[in-house]
Amino acid sequence: MVLYVILFFVATCIGMAISVYAFGTGGKRKKIFQDIYFSVEDTDGIGVLYTKTGEYSAILKMENPVQKYSANIDSYYEFTNLFAAIAQTLGEGYALHKQDIFTRKQFKDESGKGHEFLSESYFRYFNGREYTDSMTYLTITQENKKSRLMSFDNKKWRDFLVKIRKVQDQLKDAGIKSEFLNKQEASLYVDRFFAMNFRDKMVSMTGFKVDDETIGMGDRRCKVYSLVDVDSANLPTQIRPFTNIEVNNTSMPVDLVALVDSIPGVESVVYNQIIFVPNQKRELALLDKKKNRHASMPNPSNLIAVEDIKRVQEVIARENKQLVYTHYNLIVTVKPNTDIQKCTNHLENAFGRMGIHISKRAYNQLELFVNSFPGNCYGMNADYDRFLTLGDAATCLMYKEKIVHSEDAPFKVYYTDRQGVPVAIDISGKEGRNKLTDNSNFFVLGPSGSGKSFYVNSMVRQAHEQDTDIVLVDTGNSYEGLCEYFGGKYISYTEEHPITMNPFKIKREEWNIEKLGFLKNLVMLIWKGSQGTVSKTEDRLIEQVINEYYDAYFTTKRVSNLCFNTFYEFSTERLPKICEENGLHGIDLSSYNYLLKDFYKGGSHDVTLNENMDSSLFDETFIVFEIDSIKDDPLLFPLVTLIIMDVFLQKMRIKKNRKMLIIEEAWKAIASPMMAEYIKYLYKTARKFWASVGVVTQEIQDIIGSEIVKEAIINNSDVVMLLDQSKFKERFDTIKAILGLTDVDCKKIFTINRLENKEGRSFFREVFIRRGQTSNVYGVEEPHECYMTYTTERAEKEALKLYKRVLKCNHQQAIEAYCRDWDASGISKSLAFAQKVNQAGKVLNLGNKNKK
């Protein structure tokens, strides 16, 4: 045992001596960094790094292709195949050095413009929240085997320029954004790496010092962890590019090395992944020689080694695999006064669970750090810093994921990513740089209590702030607060004040097949009911009488004015004659006369279709139709919903800005075979006039039991939004089929509200959003000001109204005062604070007291 200790001590001393000889101590260290680069030159806009050992390199800034929590196993394999192919493209004498950089930052409002009150409150709420940002750089280096700078080889140089372009093309073909750093950018990147500062605009390097365990930079320290100890090479016998985590009893694939982006207590992490491409014939010969050497000394361990080598040789021969040397290390920078040993323990435990035992070698910290500089990877010691493996196995240990960033689009709706930071997405899917959809119609499904109304309030609020006209059809007062905040028009249906319009009153130029279709549906709805059936003869009959009615007004002047009353008089007189002229029998005109009479003068609904709608509605930008009082009326409910839809159609044609119609549970009133064609027409027409139609529902049976929903609504909605579906999990296969969800989509959906991402955040809900074929899960987390605008809780609404009444102020001012007191109260629960206000019966003025 003592002998082993002595041998280990001697080996360590030798290693330290080699390191000191190569890298020196004290005053020699400054020269080490000066000796890395000869120059950085510009070549056709590409910044080429020249090292003093004769290597030259180009740096690509790129974005990893796999979305974090994408749930798509195939995307991880596509990544490994791509980078194995890139290594094949480069060939002998090249190295790929991928650097994934993770930096802790604080959120700042990225939109950079003045906001309305609620948006200002939103960004202020998130301001300063910590999150992890990521950047990825790929350095391509050509080896100089002659080890001297002046040994220029023009053929090799041309080969280098051709191959770096090929690599960029391969990335582009795989859908990966990348661009070469120019001379200035490459120089700045090297400076940032030296200072381990990827956050601040200005970087400086002071107080550099190295001890046995760490590297010091001013008041910060960093430590380099070699991922694989070459002396023992403790790696799993089988490796794949991902691992599974359990979320809500569902397997969710994540990056095999996902842990590198979430190391606790760090300021930044640089994950270095280096692949060296050697001469394949030489390596195969060495492998064969090694196999023969093991075979010549038969014992159990040697026989296992022989079998392992044989399997590798078979794979190479059969699948044309490439042998590569690799090196992986993590450079972890910690904040001042942070115990770096905690990071060490975390990494050892996390990688240990994967079957990887990170190197405990610490004395060559400076050597590893210097050789991790972009373009300097060939300084890695061939004996104890590199190990041999197959190309695709090497790429499994690369980091493959990207963090969600805001989309480049003129229309931005903000949600949080899975770590709780606001990101903007183009909710329409068609206005951004990347077009994801053909139409922006949407379908929202969320059971009661899933946060559905809160989510729609948030989306509508942000859309309206960006010059979108909103028309909402509601049956539960879900949007009363938002409407009042915007000063919109809130129209509630009552017997005393019914929602009215004169759909028959049009100009000659407005008379077209679309208007004919709407009026035909309107008449049929009253005559047959929403669930009734209409024969072809009846359909043709009503179409003819409507055409004749307008001809009698525009041409022969037999009709004096256009309204339901004159249409009823004209049709009841003309229909029997049309039947007689065409020998039609069995048409129940008595039921027609009787049922439509209800809307004729003197009938119980005589104003509904005869009085003109308030013309100012066409100028209103935010309108809510609240029709809860008639939701159980089998005639009025679908009729009024149809009227509102026609109002939106007219508004859609008149207004030139973006428009949005959102129908809550009222859509069920018109989801009938009779109305199917009209719904399809509405959805398809919306696309032509910069408009979108959204349907919101909470009942699973609504979509399972209706073919009309699928054919008319879902098939014409390119955007699907799902709240927590755990209540529907047992029957989700049916929903999956109807909505056309993939297995990958379903994995994402069942992680809604289930990730361990609640720490340091207020209460929030998550939503799955699919735009075309692109889907992700986002968080709906908003400040108190937004919550009090959206709330439907009676006690909370009463408390806010109390503030508004006592302070004699507008809605916004009431929200400001209320939330100021709520924040000052120390009460986290909204309902508890509202109850305190209602109990006191007065404005609490806690915020003002605290200011004093």
pLDDT, tens digit (0-9, with 9 covering 90-100), for 353-391: 888 888 866 678 899 999 999 999 999 998 889 999 999
Say what the pLDDT of residue 338 is: 85
pLDDT at residue 563 is higher than 60: yes
What does the pLDDT read at residue 25? 43
Averaged over 302-324, what is the pLDDT?
84
Report CA dihedral (523, 527, 532, 538) to the nearest 10 degrees.
-70
Based on its alpha-carbon atoms, the radius of gyration of the chain, rounded to whole angstroms, reads: 35
pLDDT value of position 15: 41
Tell me what pLDDT residue 11 has.
38
**Local structure of residue 841 (DSSP, 8 states):** T
Looking at residue 232, what is its pLDDT? 65
| pLDDT score, position 44 | 93
pLDDT class of 2 with cuts at 50, 70, 90 = very low
pLDDT for the residue numbered 699: 80
**Separation of alpha carbons 209 and 212, rounded Å:** 10
Residue 233 pLDDT > 90, yes or no?
A: no
How confident is the model at residue 523, as a pLDDT?
Answer: 96
pLDDT at site 765: 96
The CA distance from 642 to 645, in Å, is 5
pLDDT tier at 742, thresholds 50, 70, 90: very high
pLDDT of residue 727: 87
Band of residue 821 on the pLDDT scale cut at 50, 70, 90: very high
C-beta neighbour count of 505 within 10 angstroms:
14
Strand pairing of 622-626 and 489-492? parallel
Handedness of CA 77, 83, 89, 92 (dihedral sign): negative
Mean pLDDT of the chain: 89
Position 5 pLDDT exceeds 50: no
Question: Counting beta carbons within 10 angstroms of the beta carbon of residue 11, is it exposed (0 to 12), middle (13 to 18) or buried (19 or more)?
Answer: exposed
Compute the average pLDDT of residues 547-560. 94
Mean pLDDT of 520-549: 93
Assess whether pLDDT exceeds 50 at residue 237. yes
Per residue in 50-97, pLDDT tens? 998 899 999 999 999 999 999 999 999 999 999 999 999 999 999 999
- At residue 12, the pLDDT reads 37
Using 50, 70 and 90 to split pLDDT, how confident is the model at 141?
Answer: very high
Burial of 597 (0-12, 13-18, 19+ CB in 10 A): middle
- Mean pLDDT, rounded, for 723-751: 92
pLDDT of residue 1 exceeding 50, the answer is no
Lowest mean pLDDT among 203-217, 598-612, 687-701: 203-217
Q: What pLDDT was estimated at residue 18?
A: 37
What was the pLDDT predicted at 617?
Answer: 83
Closest C-alpha to 570, from 586, 585, 558, 579 = 558
Residue (of 179, 220, 215, 182) closest to 200 by Cα position = 220
Mean pLDDT, rounded, for 240-248: 92
CA 541 to chain centre: 51
In the chain, what percentage of residues exceed pLDDT 70? 94
pLDDT of residue 544: 97
More confident residue, 769 or 434: 769
Contact 514, 648 (CB under 8 A): no
Instruction: Say which amino acid occupies 269.
Output: V
- Report the phi/psi class of residue 808: left, alpha or beta, with left for phi > 0 and alpha for psi in -120 to 50: left
- Reported confidence tier of residue 290, pLDDT bands at 50, 70, 90: confident
Better-predicted residue by pLDDT, 678 or 576: 576
Write down the pLDDT at residue 504. 94
Average pLDDT over residues 515-525: 92
Lowest mean per-residue pLDDT among 506-520, 591-605, 637-651, 670-684: 670-684
Confidence of residue 594 (pLDDT cuts 50, 70, 90): very high
Over 70: is that where the pLDDT of 444 sits? yes
Q: What local confidence, expressed as pLDDT, does residue 851 receive? A: 55
Give the confidence band of 112 by pLDDT, cuts at 50, 70, 90. Answer: low
**For 456-466, what is each residue's pLDDT tens digit?**
999 999 999 99
pLDDT at 275 over 70: yes
Report the distance separating Cα 677 and Cα 262, nearest Å: 52
For residue 3, pLDDT beyond 60: no
Q: Which one has a higher pLDDT value, 709 or 190?
A: 190
| 105 has pLDDT over 60 | yes
Tell me the longest C-alpha to C-alpha distance in the chain: 119
